[in-house]
Amino acid sequence: MQKLSGDDLLWNWARWCWSGGTVGNMERYVPWEDDYRPINMDHARAVDALYQRLPRHEAMVVQVEYTRKNSHFGHLSASGRMVMARRWIRDVTGAILRDEDYKRHLEGFRAKVEKEVLL
């Protein structure tokens, strides 16, 4: 059996986030078209508990790279996605992130998820 990574856990969480009903006029996005693995609910809830404790600007970085990556930023390259994300985060929160900050927040959360969820 292959060991799960923080990235695997975050994609599982992203599928879980999209698995419920939509709200209002929200467009439906079906992430399992990209990834057919079943959702591990325990892992998803554990990741979500960590995510809920993030400062808003850090949570938005995670959204861009996981829950909104394909639905909102799928037409962009990785560098283009980072540029648009940093602008969106600045507009919403006032936080000004350098590329290094963005990557540090993303990699740090991924490592935290791997360490804490896969105890």
Query: Per residue in 43-98, pLDDT tens?
Result: 999 999 999 999 999 999 999 999 988 888 888 999 999 999 999 999 999 999 99
Indicate the pLDDT class of residue 22, thresholds 50, 70 and 90.
Answer: low
Cα–Cα dist 116/6, whole Å: 10
- CA-wise closest residue to 52 among 101, 17, 7: 17
Please tell me the pTM assigned to this model.
0.85
pLDDT above 90: percentage of residues in the chain: 68
Is there a contact between 4 and 113 (Cβ–Cβ < 8 Å)?
no
- CA-wise closest residue to 39 among 9, 74, 70: 9
- The structure tokens listed for 56 are 């808003």
